[in-house]
Structure 1
Amino acid sequence: MNGARTVADLLRASSRSHRDSPAIVGEGRTVTYGDLDTRTNQVAAGLLAHGLERGDRVAYLARNGTEFWELFFGTAKAGPAVVPLNFRLAADEIAWILSDAEPTVLVVEDHLTSLVPADFDGLRLVFSQEGEPTVPEGWQAYEAWLAAQPTEDPHQDVAGDDLLSLMYSSGTTGKPKGVTTTSDAMLAAVEAFSAQFEVGPDTVSLVPTPYYHIAAGGWSLISLAHGGQIIQFVEVTPQSMLGLLVGHRATHVIMVPTVMQMVISNPAAAAADYSSVEHLVYGGSPISETVMLRSQEIFGAKLSQSYGLTETIGVTTILRPEDHVTGADSKLQSAGRAVPGTEVRVVDEEGKDVASGEVGEVVVRGANVTRSYWRRPDATEGAFFDGDWFRTGDAGYLDADGYLFLKDRLKDMIVSGGENVYPAEVENVLMAHPAVQEVAVIGVPSERWGETPHAVVVTKQGQTVTSDEIVAFCREHLAHYKCPTSVEVIDMLPRNPSGKILKRELRAPHWAAAERTIG
């Protein structure tokens, strides 16, 4: 990739070749490659002047904005790591992640500053997507801070096994885990994915998901590495997505199935001009054959499905365009085959290969796979077989042709509208409700979101509770997308002889008619 040795080199190369070409368009500020290169130099210089060193952390708490890429490449040029935060989290959740990541600098959108703990003692920079920001006491305006920095590239790059980014993914214990990504791992992922989609300077990529998702950041980086444009969304609605896709003549589009469903069910979709679209990539939650085929028909483009995790930088398997056919030998319900440079196996509980067609745990190995969870040695050790085979926690099987078919989640994770929800985290909150004796949270099918959290509650003796009360209580403590959208009150939760709750029994009636239970 243009001889890049570091992630910062990707931007330098694109800036040399396409300095006056737009890098980011859509909502928010439009910037050229030259602008982005200069401003990231200033970010890098400012971080170094503030005393940051290699491996220090800089957090971003905001909706999608050009400022994210200034921070991403600025840290890549200076040595610290970027920590994208989910702006939809509650204040307590943000506080826990900040206590774990311990960033030295925060860059925050002005309407989100109230989520930052009062005792955070690092540099606080605030910006606005709508003009001049409101600057609270103890904060500095990002633009004023940036303007005071020199424009020379410091060339103190994050390189090799240096920490490039730290992305938080909730864990089965209810506490988030920081997934570490190195410079070399990100370069490997960009190279692997670029080869699949014929990306180049004429590529215009639609990115309608938040940058705190690896899919959005990784997909954008592929386009930026080749001098293409990314179409940025601050807020995603069917209207804005359709308008920007058509208005900017998107060639490459990434969507979660929820968004695909929004587009194909929009009355304006049939009349829209999709002639610019060359490739549509989807993944992230369950999808029906009907949605696949209807999307293919409407967009008239190549269709690919991507399966991956934050821990694999979103790159594991691809169901390629030539696989999107119907018939007796159709692979449409599979997640495709491993991308070059990544190996996929299915193993038993001891890490030994199971036979073709037999369900086991999916494990992966490759240069793009994380090597550790941040400050979680026990979690890191438990995440690998034989040292370097990462345990995805997903159950599935490989067929005789090497296609991966996903069946269930060993880790109980729910993917709702592309957002990861871990039942243990929701259950921990609901157990604090005064009327709740026991609770189990499961994912149930949702036409809109793919799946959605459903709480099964046992109340304390003599107590009653309504669905609305459970949902409202949960929303006081967690991001709304994590909260149950439906509640069922029963007398007793099903358990096995050792006392473990049998969530499969709770899920079975809801998923009986579904084609598969994970994306």
Structure 2
Amino acid sequence: MRYDEEFLTIPHAIRLAAERFGDDIALIDEDLRWSFRELEQRMTEAVRATVALGIEEGDRVGLCAPNSAEWIFAALGIQGAGGVVVPLNTRFKAGEISYILRKSGAKAVFAAPFLGSDYIAELLRHDPDLPALRRTVSVLGAKGAADLSWTEFLRAGEEVPAATAEEVVGRLTPDDISDVMFTSGTTGHPKGVILTHGQSLRAYGWMAEEYTFRRGDSFLVIPPFFHCFGYKAGWLASFLHGVTVIPMPVFHPGKALEIIERERVSILLGPPTIFHDLINHPDRSGHDLSSLRVSMTGGTTIPESLIRAMKSDLSFDIVMSAYGLTEASALVTTTCVDDSEETVARTTGRVIPDVEVRIVDETGQELAAGQDGEILVRGYNVTRGYWDDPGATAVTIDDEGWLHTGDIGRLDGNGNLSIVDRKKEMYIVGGFNAYPAEIEKLLLAYEPVAQVAVIGVPDERLGEVGCAFVVPKEGYEVGEKDIVEWSREHMANFKVPRHVRFSDQLPRNASQKVLKDELRTRFEAKA
């Protein structure tokens, strides 16, 4: 089904799924299960309750909770009432959450205690005078510092007629804003990316078809829901195609293996570290993983050996890679089912339908295939702009509608995009541009290296040089001299790391991205 040809918004898509898939299981959370028909009912209850809360068309609502059924119900309730979901990173501290709520003008916040944090209590202590905030709801567990528990929230909705919920959902259009996704803020404050119902449905309806999502599949969703990977490529794409969603609040490889076997999980998308941890878990061979069928792993450093291991050790039939960024609905290019392992490892595939990609130099001139430059994107998937930040919007999206991604890449003769690196992570060694992602990919070909992250660090003679933070494979003994000597044999001299640090694990955020600022702090502490 082509979702770009439907009149759909996200709540309408849930209604259509209830009609099409009925009593099939839509959602499993621990011991609880909901059919697609029951999912629609939970959405309607949440819409009525959100209307009772006073949320109206265009109101922003913060949502800070772990992957769970309630996260989905809350999001659908907010959107169905005409509100705009503002997903909040569950690893954020009170000051970070306060900034986003102030910037977005959030009228309410839904939150759940998680990993020892009571977000609402901490937020109110840090910033008791948020100007727009009117109501707080506890999504899971006890009410705590919130105005309402989840049960009280739903009970208040019983005063709103079901016909009112029907009416507000019926007013929604594909051009209405569904969410404002705040970026991670790696450069300055986070910026709120505006995305619409129609953009998400068009992109992820297509993606799910391309990835062969089908009725009866089950998807263990590990990437967090506050990120497009878990939210849109996860539960939204699944519901569109009759796939059962199993949210996982915190990734534990041993528990994931148990769920895969018990629930016959067939779809698992995520960053490479997830698959690395599953493959290397000591109990892996004791679990039946034969149900696994489809995977996509994002990132710029995916060795072919990992792809082969995902097929041989984890039983995947299909492994794909993709590239996206929040400003482009997190989906720009993807490989296809019949692409070779080399293509999946070396590239992020071809541009998705009805979207354009250009590679340009620093003057804006388009470059030929095989040349490195900034990736520009134009199409329906590009954000309308940053929330309440026209200056940043103008810098990022030019007058012709091209999104300047800040990513460095190249196109091959077949139109496959390879990501070289982020502009901001490039460092210059004696006049030569060095891209950490390229060096990381090279180092992953060295057998003793399990994981690696490279940063540029100051050097008196060369200006900057590379420092590689290495996680060795279990059973291997490897030293700094080994890494440097191997590198000298396999890469240009300016790319060879001048410093090597070893660690049991790399610091990562909730989206499994390596925290390179923390690595820089570590280097400076021991310099």
Using the size of structure 2 for normalisation, the TM-score is: 0.76
In the alignment, residue 208 of structure 1 is paired with which amino acid? I
* More contact order relative to length (CA 8 Å, sep ≥ 6): 1
> In structure 1, which of residues 365, 368, 371 is the aligned counterpart of residue 378 of structure 2?
365
Is 1:278 the counterpart of 2:312? The answer is no
SS of 1:175's equivalent in the other structure is coil
**d(CA) in 2 for partners of 1:160 and 1:85?**
23
Is 1:191 the counterpart of 2:199? The answer is no
SS of 2:295's equivalent in the other structure is strand
SS of 1:385's equivalent in the other structure is coil
In the alignment, residue 280 of structure 2 is paired with which amino acid? S
**d(CA) in 2 for partners of 1:42 and 1:223?**
21
Shift of 1:446: 4.9
Alpha-carbon distance change, 198 to 448 in structure 1, aligned in 2, over 3 angstroms:
farther
Alpha-carbon distance change, 350 to 159 in structure 1, aligned in 2, over 3 angstroms:
farther
- Per-residue CA deviation, residues 144-175 of structure 1 (Å, 9 max, x unaligned), is 22123147233424323211101110345410
**d(CA) in 2 for partners of 1:46 and 1:184?**
24
> In structure 2, which of residues 79, 82, 85 is the aligned counterpart of residue 82 of structure 1?
85
In the alignment, residue 100 of structure 1 is paired with which amino acid? K
Shift of 1:490: 9.1
Shift of 1:316: 1.0
In the alignment, residue 94 of structure 1 is paired with which amino acid? I
**d(CA) in 2 for partners of 1:441 and 1:313?**
35
Residue 392 of structure 2 corresponds to which residue in structure 1? 379
Alpha-carbon distance change, 481 to 35 in structure 1, aligned in 2, over 3 angstroms:
farther
Unpaired segments of 5 or more residues in structure 1? Answer: 424-439, 450-466, 468-474, 493-519
Residues 346 and 398 in structure 1, CA contact (< 8 A), matched pair in contact too = yes
- Per-residue CA deviation, residues 228-278 of structure 1 (Å, 9 max, x unaligned), is 201111221011111112211111110210111101111222343222122
Is 1:91 the counterpart of 2:94? The answer is yes
> In structure 1, which of residues 117, 124, 146 is the aligned counterpart of residue 154 of structure 2?
146
Alignment of 1:257-406 (within 5 A): 257-284=272-299, 286-298=301-313, 299-326=315-342, 332-406=345-419
Residues 321 and 344 in structure 2, CA contact (< 8 A), matched pair in contact too = no
In the alignment, residue 524 of structure 2 is paired with which amino acid? V
Alpha-carbon distance change, 125 to 309 in structure 1, aligned in 2, over 3 angstroms:
same
**d(CA) in 2 for partners of 1:267 and 1:54?**
51
Aligned sequence identity (%): 28
In the alignment, residue 34 of structure 2 is paired with which amino acid? V
Is 1:228 the counterpart of 2:243? The answer is yes
Unpaired segments of 5 or more residues in structure 2? Answer: 427-435, 441-452, 456-463, 474-500, 502-508
Is 1:112 the counterpart of 2:146? The answer is no
Alignment of 1:41-190 (within 5 A): 41-110=44-113, 111-117=118-124, 118-120=128-130, 121-128=133-140, 132-136=141-145, 139-150=147-158, 152=162, 153-157=165-169, 158-171=172-185, 173-190=187-204
- Per-residue CA deviation, residues 256-304 of structure 1 (Å, 9 max, x unaligned), is 1011110111122234322212211111452222212211222241111
**d(CA) in 1 for partners of 2:525 and 2:73?**
51
- Per-residue CA deviation, residues 441-481 of structure 1 (Å, 9 max, x unaligned), is 999555499xxxxxxxxxxxxxxxxx9xxxxxxx9xxx996
In the alignment, residue 194 of structure 1 is paired with which amino acid? A
- Per-residue CA deviation, residues 390-418 of structure 1 (Å, 9 max, x unaligned), is 111110111111111111101339999xx
Alpha-carbon distance change, 441 to 231 in structure 1, aligned in 2, over 3 angstroms:
farther
SS of 2:191's equivalent in the other structure is strand
In the alignment, residue 200 of structure 1 is paired with which amino acid? R
Residues 7 and 173 in structure 2, CA contact (< 8 A), matched pair in contact too = no
Query: Could you tell which deviates more after superposition, 105-114 or 230-239?
Result: 105-114
Alpha-carbon distance change, 174 to 28 in structure 1, aligned in 2, over 3 angstroms:
farther
Alpha-carbon distance change, 162 to 331 in structure 1, aligned in 2, over 3 angstroms:
closer
Residues 183 and 193 in structure 2, CA contact (< 8 A), matched pair in contact too = yes
Alpha-carbon distance change, 65 to 308 in structure 1, aligned in 2, over 3 angstroms:
same
Residues 207 and 232 in structure 1, CA contact (< 8 A), matched pair in contact too = yes
Shift of 1:331: 5.9
**d(CA) in 1 for partners of 2:148 and 2:465?**
42
In the alignment, residue 147 of structure 1 is paired with which amino acid? R
Shift of 1:95: 1.1
> In structure 2, which of residues 13, 18, 25 is the aligned counterpart of residue 10 of structure 1?
13
**d(CA) in 2 for partners of 1:165 and 1:358?**
36
**d(CA) in 1 for partners of 2:55 and 2:320?**
41
Query: Could you tell which deviates more after superposition, 349-358 or 92-101?
Result: 349-358
> In structure 1, which of residues 204, 214, 218 is the aligned counterpart of residue 218 of structure 2?
204
Is 1:24 the counterpart of 2:32? The answer is no
Residues 55 and 163 in structure 1, CA contact (< 8 A), matched pair in contact too = yes
SS of 2:425's equivalent in the other structure is coil
- Per-residue CA deviation, residues 358-392 of structure 1 (Å, 9 max, x unaligned), is 11101112212212011111111111234311111
Query: Could you tell which deviates more after superposition, 141-150 or 242-251?
Result: 141-150
Residues 221 and 269 in structure 2, CA contact (< 8 A), matched pair in contact too = yes
Residues 344 and 365 in structure 1, CA contact (< 8 A), matched pair in contact too = yes
SS of 1:69's equivalent in the other structure is helix
In angstroms, what is the RMSD of aligned CA positions? 3.1
Shift of 1:347: 1.1
SS of 1:365's equivalent in the other structure is strand
Residues 369 and 411 in structure 2, CA contact (< 8 A), matched pair in contact too = yes
